[in-house]
Amino acid sequence: MKQLTLQIPISVYDYEELSAEDRALIDQAKEATRRSYVPYSHFHVGAAVRLSGGEIISGSNQENAAYPSGTCAERTTLFYAGSQYPTQAILTLAVAARNEQGNFLDSPIPPCGACRQVMLEAEKRFKQPMRILLYGTSGVYEFGSVDGLLPFSFDADAMR
């Protein structure tokens, strides 16, 4: 038997340590949580992306009584960016979440599996890494690319 060990580099920053550009992106993700439609989970998630042309796009999670017809903030944002700016790569994605009491979470939340797959596809589409910033009041996790969130990924290369 052979055993493999994965090592995933994650940088952890205090919000104040981030660049003004990254703080602004996180602020957009935090603001997007206020536009969530979450009558069932009461869990507000917002996401924001910075595109290669400098635009910032944000979105929030949207629920529906007919599960799984709703969608996560990350996919809402990525799909909108792709449909409105199809030639612009996504440079950075920021995600923030608030609980039912309206407080931002202490620890950053990780994207779900479906969102990770969509993030991977966006990264592969433009053949460049997408930075990911996950906000929590106790720190911000930075991943240099989707590989840090999805180390054994499934993409078109796996089907050859």
Which candidate in 21, 55, 74, 123 is catalytic?
74
| Among candidate residues 34, 131, 112, the one with its CA nearest the CA of residue 71 | 112
Architecture of the domain made up of 22-145: 3-Layer(aba) Sandwich (3.40)
Let me know: does 76 contact 59? Beta carbons within 8 Å: yes
**According to the model, what pLDDT value does residue 16 have?**
97
Q: Is 31 a catalytic residue?
A: no
pLDDT one-digit tens code per residue, 125-136 = 999 999 999 999
Which residues in the chain come in under a pLDDT of 70? none
pLDDT one-digit tens code per residue, 34-66 = 999 999 999 999 999 999 999 999 999 999 998
| Among candidate residues 131, 29, 125, 28, the one with its CA nearest the CA of residue 86 | 125
| Among candidate residues 130, 94, 114, the one with its CA nearest the CA of residue 15 | 94
As a whole number of angstroms, the distance between CA 45 and CA 160 comes to 36
Let me know: does 13 contact 148? Beta carbons within 8 Å: no
